[in-house]
């Protein structure tokens, strides 16, 4: 679809106004009589070397500080004093030597869900559950094979973790 200079100018103006591609598609149809698919509008905007504006993010509103506690009350810890948890850091083995399971935020390609496991003996492995419900366990150390008891404990811990997450 070829547009004349006046039509290109209108599309450029609409982008400058912050219209989304769907809105531009509707305006092309209603104002210019051009029926284009969404993909055609997207390619048109790309051909014109235009970039749609991102929607403005809502501004963060700061909550007022909580009222001061009475003189005899224990002070709550400040947010700076609260411990933080790095989601990308590997989980340390749990106290008591049990199995530790983490779930990836983005599943590995070809899997429904994936993550990492640390066994009682400190060995780690990656795990994945595929579309057929098959569980794969890929040890980090080549040749490592967890015991049958460790695998059962891993499966139970994984089941509990997934149930906690709503799976």
pLDDT given at position 94:
45
Q: What b-and-e string marks burial along 46-82, b requiring 16 or more CB atoms within 10 Å of the CB?
A: eeeebeeeeeeeeeeeeeeeeeeeeeeeeeeeeeeee
Between residues 122 and 60, which one has the greater pLDDT?
A: 122
Residue 32 is predicted with a pLDDT of 85
Tell me: pLDDT of 83 over 60: no
Q: 36 exposed, middle or buried (CB, 10 Å; 0-12, 13-18, 19+)?
A: middle
In degrees to the nearest 10, what's the CA dihedral of 95, 138, 165, 147? -50
Using CA atoms, how far apart are residues 167 and 159, in angstroms rounded to an integer? 9
The domains of the chain are located at: 5-47, 90-164
The pLDDT score that the predictor gives to residue 5 is 85
- Asked whether residue 97 carries a pLDDT value surpassing 70, the answer given is no
73 phi and psi angles, rounded to 5 deg: -80, 150
Average pLDDT over residues 95-102: 73
94, two tokens = 């749990």
Decide: helix, strand or coil at residue 50.
coil
pLDDT at 101: 92
The predicted model gives 106-130 an average pLDDT of: 91
Strand blocks (E) in 35-141: 100-103, 113-118, 124-129, 135-139
| Contacts of 146 by beta carbon, 8 Å cutoff, 6+ apart | 119, 123, 125, 137, 139, 154
- Is pLDDT of 127 > 90? yes
Please state the pTM of the whole predicted model.
0.43
pLDDT at 65: 63
- pLDDT at position 117, please? 94
Is the pLDDT at 92 greater than 50, yes or no? no
pLDDT tens column, 33-71 = 888 888 888 888 888 888 877 655 556 556 566 666 555
Residue 57 has a pLDDT of 56
């Amino acid at each position: 679809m070829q547009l004349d200079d006046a039509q290109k100018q209108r599309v450029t103006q609409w982008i400058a106004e912050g219209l989304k591609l769907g809105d531009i598609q509707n305006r092309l149809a209603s104002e210019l009589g051009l029926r284009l698919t969404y993909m055609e509008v997207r390619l048109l905007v790309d051909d014109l070397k235009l970039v749609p504006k991102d929607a403005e993010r809502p501004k963060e509103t700061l909550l007022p500080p909580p009222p001061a506690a009475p003189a005899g009350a224990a002070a709550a810890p400040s947010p700076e004093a609260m411990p933080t948890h790095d989601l990308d850091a590997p989980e340390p083995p749990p106290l008591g030597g049990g199995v530790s399971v983490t779930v990836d935020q983005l599943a590995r390609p070809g899997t429904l869900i994936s993550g990492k496991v640390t066994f009682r003996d400190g060995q780690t492995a990656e795990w994945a559950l595929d579309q057929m419900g098959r569980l794969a366990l890929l040890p980090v150390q080549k040749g490592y094979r967890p015991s049958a008891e460790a695998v059962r404990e891993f499966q139970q811990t994984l089941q509990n973790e997934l149930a906690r997450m709503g799976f």
